[in-house]
Amino acid sequence: LNRRVPEPPGQDEIAQLARTANATLDRLERAIGRQRQFASDASHELRTPIAGLRANLEDASMHPEDNDLRAVVDSALRDTDRLESIVTDLLLLARIGTGAAAEESIDLPRLAEAEIARRTFALKVSTEFDGEVTVRGVRMQLVRLLGNLLDNAERYADELVTVEVSREGRHALLTVTDDGVGIPPEDRERVFERFTRLDAARDRGSGGTGLGLAIAREIAQAHGGTLRVVERSRGTRFALRLPLAGE
Ligand code: ADP
Protein backbone atom coordinates (compact mmCIF):
# COMPACT_ATOMS: atom_id res chain seq x y z
CA LEU A 1 0.00 0.00 0.00
CA ASN A 2 2.98 2.29 0.41
CA ARG A 3 3.83 2.02 -3.27
CA ARG A 4 2.62 4.63 -5.70
CA VAL A 5 2.26 4.48 -9.47
CA PRO A 6 4.83 6.68 -11.28
CA GLU A 7 2.98 9.76 -12.55
CA PRO A 8 4.03 10.70 -16.08
CA PRO A 9 3.84 14.44 -16.90
CA GLY A 10 1.04 15.78 -19.09
CA GLN A 11 -2.70 15.41 -19.30
CA ASP A 12 -3.18 12.24 -21.33
CA GLU A 13 -5.28 9.35 -20.17
CA ILE A 14 -2.39 7.37 -18.66
CA ALA A 15 -1.22 10.37 -16.63
CA GLN A 16 -4.73 11.00 -15.33
CA LEU A 17 -5.22 7.33 -14.51
CA ALA A 18 -1.96 7.27 -12.55
CA ARG A 19 -2.97 10.36 -10.56
CA THR A 20 -6.41 8.92 -9.78
CA ALA A 21 -4.88 5.61 -8.69
CA ASN A 22 -2.43 7.39 -6.38
CA ALA A 23 -5.10 9.65 -4.91
CA THR A 24 -7.24 6.58 -4.17
CA LEU A 25 -4.33 4.83 -2.48
CA ASP A 26 -3.73 7.97 -0.38
CA ARG A 27 -7.35 8.00 0.74
CA LEU A 28 -7.30 4.27 1.51
CA GLU A 29 -4.14 4.62 3.55
CA ARG A 30 -5.59 7.51 5.57
CA ALA A 31 -8.80 5.51 6.18
CA ILE A 32 -6.84 2.50 7.44
CA GLY A 33 -4.76 4.81 9.62
CA ARG A 34 -7.94 6.26 11.14
CA GLN A 35 -9.30 2.76 11.85
CA ARG A 36 -6.10 1.76 13.62
CA GLN A 37 -6.06 5.01 15.54
CA PHE A 38 -9.65 4.42 16.66
CA ALA A 39 -8.91 0.90 17.92
CA SER A 40 -5.80 2.13 19.68
CA ASP A 41 -7.60 5.13 21.29
CA ALA A 42 -10.55 2.97 22.35
CA SER A 43 -8.23 0.45 24.00
CA HIS A 44 -6.37 3.18 25.89
CA GLU A 45 -9.64 4.80 27.01
CA LEU A 46 -10.94 1.45 28.30
CA ARG A 47 -7.81 0.75 30.30
CA THR A 48 -8.38 3.56 32.80
CA PRO A 49 -11.87 2.53 34.01
CA ILE A 50 -10.77 -1.11 34.16
CA ALA A 51 -7.81 -0.20 36.36
CA GLY A 52 -10.16 1.81 38.64
CA LEU A 53 -12.63 -1.05 38.83
CA ARG A 54 -9.85 -3.49 39.68
CA ALA A 55 -8.50 -1.28 42.48
CA ASN A 56 -11.95 -0.93 44.05
CA LEU A 57 -12.67 -4.64 43.81
CA GLU A 58 -9.32 -5.60 45.26
CA ASP A 59 -10.00 -3.21 48.10
CA ALA A 60 -13.43 -4.76 48.71
CA SER A 61 -11.99 -8.29 48.60
CA MET A 62 -9.79 -7.38 51.58
CA HIS A 63 -12.87 -7.56 53.82
CA PRO A 64 -13.69 -11.24 53.99
CA GLU A 65 -16.36 -11.01 56.77
CA ASP A 66 -19.27 -11.21 54.37
CA ASN A 67 -19.15 -14.43 52.30
CA ASP A 68 -21.89 -13.41 49.85
CA LEU A 69 -20.22 -10.12 49.12
CA ARG A 70 -16.90 -11.86 48.70
CA ALA A 71 -18.27 -14.21 46.05
CA VAL A 72 -19.69 -11.28 44.10
CA VAL A 73 -16.42 -9.38 44.33
CA ASP A 74 -14.36 -12.40 43.25
CA SER A 75 -16.56 -12.94 40.25
CA ALA A 76 -16.30 -9.24 39.34
CA LEU A 77 -12.50 -9.49 39.64
CA ARG A 78 -12.48 -12.39 37.17
CA ASP A 79 -14.57 -10.32 34.75
CA THR A 80 -12.07 -7.50 35.14
CA ASP A 81 -9.21 -9.85 34.23
CA ARG A 82 -11.08 -10.89 31.14
CA LEU A 83 -11.82 -7.32 30.08
CA GLU A 84 -8.19 -6.47 30.58
CA SER A 85 -7.01 -9.34 28.34
CA ILE A 86 -9.47 -8.40 25.60
CA VAL A 87 -8.39 -4.76 25.68
CA THR A 88 -4.70 -5.73 25.61
CA ASP A 89 -5.28 -8.04 22.64
CA LEU A 90 -7.31 -5.43 20.74
CA LEU A 91 -4.56 -2.89 21.28
CA LEU A 92 -2.01 -5.39 19.96
CA LEU A 93 -4.19 -6.07 16.90
CA ALA A 94 -4.36 -2.35 16.17
CA ARG A 95 -0.58 -2.06 16.31
CA ILE A 96 0.51 -5.03 14.18
CA GLY A 97 1.75 -4.00 10.77
CA THR A 98 2.07 -0.28 11.53
CA GLY A 99 5.84 -0.52 11.09
CA ALA A 100 6.41 0.88 14.59
CA ALA A 101 8.37 -2.17 15.82
CA ALA A 102 11.94 -2.94 14.72
CA GLU A 103 12.71 -6.02 12.61
CA GLU A 104 15.68 -8.32 13.08
CA SER A 105 17.02 -11.61 11.70
CA ILE A 106 15.47 -14.50 13.59
CA ASP A 107 16.33 -18.20 13.47
CA LEU A 108 12.94 -19.91 13.70
CA PRO A 109 14.08 -23.25 15.18
CA ARG A 110 15.90 -21.40 17.97
CA LEU A 111 12.90 -19.20 18.66
CA ALA A 112 10.62 -22.27 18.74
CA GLU A 113 12.98 -24.18 21.04
CA ALA A 114 13.16 -21.26 23.47
CA GLU A 115 9.37 -20.87 23.51
CA ILE A 116 8.85 -24.58 24.15
CA ALA A 117 11.51 -24.63 26.89
CA ARG A 118 9.90 -21.63 28.59
CA ARG A 119 6.61 -23.48 29.01
CA THR A 120 5.89 -26.34 31.28
CA PHE A 121 3.89 -28.59 29.04
CA ALA A 122 1.69 -31.15 30.71
CA LEU A 123 1.87 -33.03 27.41
CA LYS A 124 4.55 -34.64 25.33
CA VAL A 125 6.12 -32.24 22.83
CA SER A 126 8.10 -33.57 19.91
CA THR A 127 10.17 -31.24 17.73
CA GLU A 128 11.83 -31.60 14.37
CA PHE A 129 14.07 -28.83 13.10
CA ASP A 130 15.79 -28.73 9.76
CA GLY A 131 19.02 -26.73 10.33
CA GLU A 132 19.05 -22.94 10.34
CA VAL A 133 15.88 -21.29 9.05
CA THR A 134 16.21 -17.51 9.21
CA VAL A 135 13.46 -14.96 8.66
CA ARG A 136 13.22 -11.17 9.14
CA GLY A 137 10.70 -10.19 11.73
CA VAL A 138 9.60 -8.49 14.91
CA ARG A 139 10.73 -10.93 17.61
CA MET A 140 8.02 -10.07 20.14
CA GLN A 141 5.32 -10.59 17.51
CA LEU A 142 6.66 -13.93 16.26
CA VAL A 143 6.94 -15.13 19.87
CA ARG A 144 3.32 -14.16 20.38
CA LEU A 145 2.22 -15.90 17.16
CA LEU A 146 3.94 -19.14 18.12
CA GLY A 147 2.75 -18.79 21.72
CA ASN A 148 -0.88 -18.58 20.58
CA LEU A 149 -0.50 -21.73 18.46
CA LEU A 150 1.19 -23.58 21.33
CA ASP A 151 -1.47 -22.47 23.83
CA ASN A 152 -4.22 -23.83 21.60
CA ALA A 153 -2.36 -27.04 20.79
CA GLU A 154 -1.79 -27.68 24.47
CA ARG A 155 -5.41 -26.89 25.29
CA TYR A 156 -6.89 -29.20 22.67
CA ALA A 157 -4.33 -32.02 22.32
CA ASP A 158 -5.00 -35.46 23.76
CA GLU A 159 -1.40 -36.28 24.48
CA LEU A 160 1.00 -35.07 21.81
CA VAL A 161 2.03 -31.70 20.34
CA THR A 162 4.52 -31.68 17.45
CA VAL A 163 6.44 -28.61 16.28
CA GLU A 164 8.38 -28.75 13.02
CA VAL A 165 10.42 -26.11 11.17
CA SER A 166 11.77 -26.59 7.65
CA ARG A 167 12.47 -24.76 4.41
CA GLU A 168 10.12 -24.96 1.48
CA GLY A 169 11.44 -23.15 -1.58
CA ARG A 170 11.88 -19.50 -0.61
CA HIS A 171 9.80 -19.90 2.52
CA ALA A 172 10.22 -21.06 6.07
CA LEU A 173 7.53 -23.51 7.09
CA LEU A 174 6.61 -23.92 10.76
CA THR A 175 3.88 -26.34 11.76
CA VAL A 176 2.23 -26.95 15.13
CA THR A 177 0.25 -30.18 15.24
CA ASP A 178 -1.89 -31.73 17.95
CA ASP A 179 -3.78 -35.01 18.20
CA GLY A 180 -6.95 -33.52 19.70
CA VAL A 181 -10.57 -32.85 18.68
CA GLY A 182 -9.65 -31.18 15.38
CA ILE A 183 -11.42 -28.34 13.55
CA PRO A 184 -14.26 -29.21 11.13
CA PRO A 185 -13.53 -28.28 7.46
CA GLU A 186 -16.27 -25.61 7.41
CA ASP A 187 -14.67 -23.78 10.35
CA ARG A 188 -11.07 -23.75 9.10
CA GLU A 189 -11.25 -20.11 7.98
CA ARG A 190 -13.75 -18.96 10.56
CA VAL A 191 -11.39 -19.69 13.49
CA PHE A 192 -9.21 -16.78 12.30
CA GLU A 193 -12.03 -14.26 12.68
CA ARG A 194 -12.08 -12.08 15.78
CA PHE A 195 -13.95 -13.52 18.77
CA THR A 196 -14.67 -16.88 17.11
CA ARG A 197 -15.09 -19.81 19.45
CA LEU A 198 -16.26 -23.04 17.91
CA ASP A 199 -17.80 -24.43 21.04
CA ALA A 200 -18.82 -21.63 23.35
CA ALA A 201 -19.66 -23.91 26.25
CA ARG A 202 -16.31 -25.66 26.06
CA ASP A 203 -14.13 -22.71 25.13
CA ARG A 204 -15.37 -19.86 27.25
CA GLY A 205 -14.05 -21.38 30.40
CA SER A 206 -10.63 -21.63 28.79
CA GLY A 207 -9.75 -18.04 29.58
CA GLY A 208 -8.98 -17.26 25.93
CA THR A 209 -10.28 -14.06 24.35
CA GLY A 210 -11.18 -15.58 20.96
CA LEU A 211 -8.62 -13.18 19.49
CA GLY A 212 -5.59 -15.49 19.55
CA LEU A 213 -5.78 -16.79 15.99
CA ALA A 214 -6.87 -13.41 14.58
CA ILE A 215 -3.71 -11.94 16.13
CA ALA A 216 -1.57 -14.85 14.89
CA ARG A 217 -2.77 -14.47 11.31
CA GLU A 218 -2.43 -10.67 11.38
CA ILE A 219 1.20 -11.08 12.51
CA ALA A 220 1.89 -13.68 9.78
CA GLN A 221 0.47 -11.37 7.12
CA ALA A 222 2.34 -8.31 8.42
CA HIS A 223 5.51 -10.39 7.87
CA GLY A 224 4.53 -11.19 4.26
CA GLY A 225 3.48 -14.72 5.23
CA THR A 226 0.40 -16.91 5.66
CA LEU A 227 -1.18 -18.93 8.45
CA ARG A 228 -3.62 -21.73 7.68
CA VAL A 229 -5.25 -24.81 9.11
CA VAL A 230 -4.09 -27.91 7.22
CA GLU A 231 -6.53 -30.69 6.53
CA ARG A 232 -5.95 -33.84 8.61
CA SER A 233 -7.85 -36.97 9.47
CA ARG A 234 -7.15 -36.46 13.16
CA GLY A 235 -6.24 -33.50 15.33
CA THR A 236 -5.27 -30.06 14.09
CA ARG A 237 -2.26 -28.70 12.22
CA PHE A 238 -1.49 -25.01 11.79
CA ALA A 239 1.01 -24.13 9.06
CA LEU A 240 2.91 -20.82 9.12
CA ARG A 241 4.83 -19.77 6.00
CA LEU A 242 7.21 -16.82 6.15
CA PRO A 243 9.61 -15.53 3.49
CA LEU A 244 13.20 -16.62 4.21
CA ALA A 245 15.56 -13.75 5.08
CA GLY A 246 17.34 -12.40 2.02
CA GLU A 247 14.85 -13.88 -0.48
P1 ADP B 1 -9.20 -18.60 22.07
O2 ADP B 1 -8.66 -17.41 22.78
O3 ADP B 1 -10.64 -18.89 22.36
O4 ADP B 1 -8.30 -19.79 22.12
P5 ADP B 1 -8.38 -18.49 19.32
O6 ADP B 1 -8.56 -17.40 18.30
O7 ADP B 1 -7.00 -18.87 19.69
O8 ADP B 1 -9.24 -18.08 20.56
O9 ADP B 1 -9.11 -19.79 18.79
C10 ADP B 1 -10.44 -19.68 18.29
C11 ADP B 1 -11.17 -21.00 18.40
O12 ADP B 1 -10.60 -21.96 17.48
C13 ADP B 1 -11.03 -21.68 19.75
O14 ADP B 1 -11.96 -21.17 20.68
C15 ADP B 1 -11.30 -23.14 19.39
O16 ADP B 1 -12.70 -23.38 19.28
C17 ADP B 1 -10.69 -23.27 18.00
N18 ADP B 1 -9.32 -23.85 18.04
C19 ADP B 1 -8.14 -23.16 18.06
N20 ADP B 1 -7.08 -23.98 18.09
C21 ADP B 1 -7.58 -25.25 18.08
C22 ADP B 1 -6.98 -26.57 18.10
N23 ADP B 1 -5.65 -26.73 18.13
N24 ADP B 1 -7.84 -27.64 18.09
C25 ADP B 1 -9.17 -27.48 18.07
N26 ADP B 1 -9.79 -26.26 18.06
C27 ADP B 1 -9.02 -25.16 18.05
Cα 184 to ligand 1 centre (Å): 12
What's the gap in Å between 197 CA and the centre of ligand 1?
Answer: 6
Distance between alpha carbon 5 and the CA centroid of its chain, in Å? 32
Nearest CA to 39 out of 81, 101, 87 is that of 87
CA 152 – ligand 1 centroid, Å: 6
Q: What is the pLDDT of residues 53-108, one digit of tens each?
A: 888 888 888 877 777 788 888 888 888 988 898 888 988 888 887 777 889 999 99
Distance CA 145, CA 192 (A): 12
pLDDT value at position 136? Answer: 96
Q: What per-residue confidence (pLDDT) applies to 200?
A: 60
Contacts of 203-211 with C-beta under 8 Å, sequence gap 24+, read 206/155, 207/82, 207/85, 208/151, 208/155, 209/82, 209/85, 209/86, 209/89, 211/86, 211/89, 211/90, 211/93
pLDDT of 18-58, one tens digit each? 999 999 999 998 998 888 888 888 888 888 888 888 888 88
Task: Specify the pTM.
Answer: 0.83
Closest CA to 155 of 112, 92, 192, 197: 197
Q: What is the mean pLDDT of residues 213-217?
A: 96
ipTM of the complex: 0.97
Name the DSSP class of 172: E
Percent of the chain with pLDDT over 70: 96
Residues β-bridged to residue 106:
135
One DSSP character per residue, 138-163 reads -HHHHHHHHHHHHHHHHHH-SSEEEE
d(CA 49, CA 148): 27
Closest ligand 1 atom, residue 215 Cα? 6
Residue nearest to atom 12 of ligand 1 (CA): 191
Please state, in angstroms and rounded to a whole number, the distance separating the CA atoms of residues 52 and 173: 44
Pinpoint the alpha helices (H) of the chain: 13-60, 67-95, 108-118, 139-156, 200-203, 212-222
Contacts of 141 by beta carbon, 8 Å cutoff, 6+ apart = 96, 101, 219, 222, 223
Contact between 174 and 165 under an 8 Å Cβ cutoff? The reply is yes
